[in-house]
Chain A
Amino acid sequence: MRRHRFGLQLACVAITLFFGVPLYLIALAAFSSRESLDRFPLPLLPTDLSAETITTFLGSTGVVGGYLNSLMVGLSTVVLALVIGVPAGYALARHAFRGRDPYQLFLLLTRALPIVVLSVPLARIFLQTGLYDTTYAVTLLHTALALPTTVLITSAVFVGVPREHEEAAQVFGASPARAFARVVLPQALPGIAAVAMFTFVLSWNEVLGATILTLNQRTLPAHVLTTLSDSPLAYRFAGGLALILPAIVFVAVMRRYLLNMWGTTLR
């Protein structure tokens, strides 16, 4: 028993290191002076700290604006994808209707098309309707990209919530809507939180569509990606750190809702 526990602890430490060490290294490089990055062997402890590259990066035109745009797009995408996707997932889980299986397959088709193929015609439509170069345009694209997974994952989550609970609530006088909101939704919350994370990270990482649909009001990755890939190494570390931090914060906030997901039972 004791040996078993030790093995478990070891595995936990190994996995934490697997994800933590790259984060530490990129943070270290982002806060090191440019000269120290040229040194060999590279020091693995913070010996030569300097905020020069990261402040230059954060101070460059549009980085703060890009941050705000990315947050707006990411959160709006999460909200919009959940508002549309959760009812659709519920319907898929609870109701047998003709063509349900082809419909599920059909949902995935949007993901089968490359984003470039989608976004060029979209850019034309958005130009003509005046949506071009707004965060709304990017939100719509990202929602469309996220919906298939939102619908399919939430439907799988709703299948896991016993139908009897819902029926019991209705027996005690709850309307179907109330039964859904008070009984089903709380039990499905961990799954929905996972979907929200997935959607947010998808939107945060998406570059191609966002680049083509905007000009002056870009999301952060679209704004800096070309810049960073052509920049000296020091800036790539600074930019990389700036790009991953918000996603980590978002995951940390949503983590609480995940805890029950693989627990003994769905409460």
Chain B
Amino acid sequence: MTNEARATRRALLQAALAAPVLAACGGVSTSGTGGAGSVNFLSTQFTPVEERQRFEKILADKVTSAKVGYNPVDNATFATTLRTQVEAGKVQVNLVGGLHGDLAPLGDKLMDLDDLAGSLTDRGFAADLIELGKLGGTTAKYIPWMQATYMMAVNKKALQWLPSGADVQKLTYDQFLSWMTAAKAGNGGKPVFGLGAGPKGLYHRFFQGFLLPSFTGGQITTFRSADAVTAWEYMKELWAQTAPASTNYDFVQEPLQRGEVLVGFDHVARLATAPKDKPDEWLMVPAPSGPKGLGYMLVIAGLGIPKGAPDADKAKEVIRTLTTPPVQTEVLRQNAFFPVVKGDLPGDLPAAIGLEAKAVAAQQSASNAIVSLPPVGLGSKDGEVSQIFKDTFKAICLDGKAVKATLDAQATKLNAILDEAKVACWKPDPAGSPCRAA
């Protein structure tokens, strides 16, 4: 090795050793803020790279009252950070945003927002949403922020196999199954339906909020009922017509875009890019209906302020701005989360979002709709309950185990988790405490 090379390497090492000394400031900001008076916004939403960038731009453009640093984290970190800060009495987060299920277990760490809610009556939040924001108490704990749901994206190529007499906008589960069966046969034995059953996929929401409520009218209480057995028998048949690679799909928009599957079920934000390039070739349709009705899951996100947060007034100002109709529309336009405030949607929405908006409206206004919520109040147990549904799917559909025996075994596990959590049932199960599988 030449001396010169040795010298540069030594210089590099010396520079490396000097770096810690230079780092006397305690770190570089990674959220775009850090100065005094800025609002620290901790959230479980908009974690993907592009969604985050677009939301940061909305914050920078529309929120003029304060500089907002946006920190998206996973829900476990969200709960831990909020808990430790409030319990230590040194709160550094000014504003929190999360799904109803993220915020519900942290109700005692959140400030009462009745005064703010009182000043926002002109926003026209639905009464249901305001009630949810009270987290079972009497005072407002969070202000509705945005909502979303799940639906199906359909490539028009798949319509050629649609059974006669079936309306793609008003499918029943039976019609859907015979459609997918015909499509697989017509497509040379290659399934055309994709479900987000990957490691990060949201397929458990399909069982919790769509399949089971449509067949049983409940989510937890009816977990091992005779209706639930029918539902899972159905799922087994549907899985036989589903692309086996679904166990790799996290975002169903990706296989749809690749043309690997033609029909997909997922969260609206995870379907949005599928029809982006060629909106004319796509349909967005409501979920099918079952014997009990059209079960669909409502995803609600809310904004709250931690107890003891500094600059609570600034945070309230940010909430005011985020709930104005123009900002709500902008969030829909950019990130496919739907407004919670009253107001007509503009006609110039991006084509993909426009398609979704129609399907959302159709799903919500269906006469036989059964609304369900993601698990409420389970906190860190949320993942465990979802895992029960994933395990049930794996046992019945992938491993081919007997339906009734699997449901009995999983119901025992489910009840063990729920008995520990002692929470009241959430929609669509009848409110009653404590919630468990009958």
Q: Is A bound to B?
A: yes
In the complex, which residue of chain A has the Cβ closest to the Cβ of B18?
Answer: A75
**Cβ of A235: which chain B residues have Cβ within 8 Å of it?**
48-50
Contact B49 A69, beta carbon cutoff 8 Å: no
**Cβ of A66: which chain B residues have Cβ within 8 Å of it?**
28, 30
Contact B30 A69, beta carbon cutoff 8 Å: yes
CB distance from A256 to the nearest CB of B (A): 7
**Cβ of B80: which chain A residues have Cβ within 8 Å of it?**
116, 120, 123, 212
**Given A136-B26, A253-B12, A215–B32 Cβ distance below 8 Å?**
no
**Given A62-B31, A132-B90, A75–B251 Cβ distance below 8 Å?**
no
Q: Looking at chain A, what size class is its interface with the partner chain?
A: 35 or more
Q: Residue A104 at the B interface, CB < 8 A?
A: no
**Cβ of A216: which chain B residues have Cβ within 8 Å of it?**
29-31, 33-34, 40, 69, 71
**Given A62-B32, A215-B42, A217-B29, A76–B20 Cβ distance below 8 Å?**
yes
Contact with A along B247-263 (1 / 0, CB 8 A): 00001001001101000
**Given A72-B20, A216-B69, A226-B72, A135–B27 Cβ distance below 8 Å?**
yes
CB distance from B134 to the nearest CB of A (A): 28
Tell me the complex Cα distance, A212–B75, Å.
Answer: 12
Interface residues of B in 4-21 (CB under 8 A from A): 9, 12-13, 16-17, 19-20
Tell me the complex Cα distance, A227–B47, Å.
Answer: 5
Q: Residue A49 at the B interface, CB < 8 A?
A: no
Contact B84 A120, beta carbon cutoff 8 Å: yes
Tell me the complex Cα distance, A61–B59, Å.
Answer: 13
**Cβ of A123: which chain B residues have Cβ within 8 Å of it?**
80-81, 84, 88
Contact B42 A124, beta carbon cutoff 8 Å: no
In the complex, which residue of chain A has the Cβ closest to the Cβ of B32?
Answer: A61
Q: Residue A264 at the B interface, CB < 8 A?
A: no
Q: Residue B92 at the A interface, CB < 8 A?
A: yes
Contact with B along A243-254 (1 / 0, CB 8 A): 000000000010
**Cβ of A76: which chain B residues have Cβ within 8 Å of it?**
19-20, 23
CB distance from B239 to the nearest CB of A (A): 23
Q: Is the interface of A mostly helix, strand, loop or mixed?
A: helix
Q: Residue A65 at the B interface, CB < 8 A?
A: yes
Tell me the complex Cα distance, A72–B87, Å.
Answer: 30
Contact A79 B20, beta carbon cutoff 8 Å: yes
Q: Residue B412 at the A interface, CB < 8 A?
A: no
In the complex, which residue of chain B has the Cβ closest to the Cβ of A79?
Answer: B20
Contact A124 B84, beta carbon cutoff 8 Å: yes
**Please, how many residues of chain B have a CB less than 8 angstroms from a CB on the other chain?**
50
**Cβ of B90: which chain A residues have Cβ within 8 Å of it?**
127-128, 132
Q: Residue A175 at the B interface, CB < 8 A?
A: no
Contact B30 A62, beta carbon cutoff 8 Å: yes
CB distance from B387 to the nearest CB of A (A): 17
Contact B34 A217, beta carbon cutoff 8 Å: yes
In the complex, which residue of chain A has the Cβ closest to the Cβ of B75?
Answer: A226
**Cβ of B148: which chain A residues have Cβ within 8 Å of it?**
none
Contact B72 A65, beta carbon cutoff 8 Å: no
Tell me the complex Cα distance, A133–B32, Å.
Answer: 14
Contact A214 B27, beta carbon cutoff 8 Å: yes
Interface residues of A in 84-140 (CB under 8 A from B): 116, 120, 123-124, 127-128, 132-136, 139
Contact B49 A38, beta carbon cutoff 8 Å: no
Tell me the complex Cα distance, A61–B88, Å.
Answer: 29
Contact B92 A229, beta carbon cutoff 8 Å: no
**Cβ of B169: which chain A residues have Cβ within 8 Å of it?**
none
Contact with B along A133-149 (1 / 0, CB 8 A): 11110010000000000
23 example contacts (A-B, Cβ-Cβ < 8 A) are as follows A38-B257, A56-B53, A57-B49, A60-B53, A61-B32, A62-B30, A62-B32, A66-B30, A71-B19, A72-B23, A80-B20, A120-B80, A123-B80, A127-B84, A133-B27, A135-B27, A212-B80, A214-B27, A215-B31, A215-B92, A216-B71, A232-B251, A253-B12
Binding site for B on A (CB under 8 A): 38, 40, 56-57, 60-66, 68-69, 71-72, 75-76, 79-80, 116, 120, 123-124, 127-128, 132-136, 139, 211-212, 214-218, 223, 226-233, 235, 239, 253, 256
Beyond A65-B29, A215-B40, 5 additional pairs, beta carbon < 8 A: A72-B20, A76-B19, A128-B88, A217-B26, A218-B31
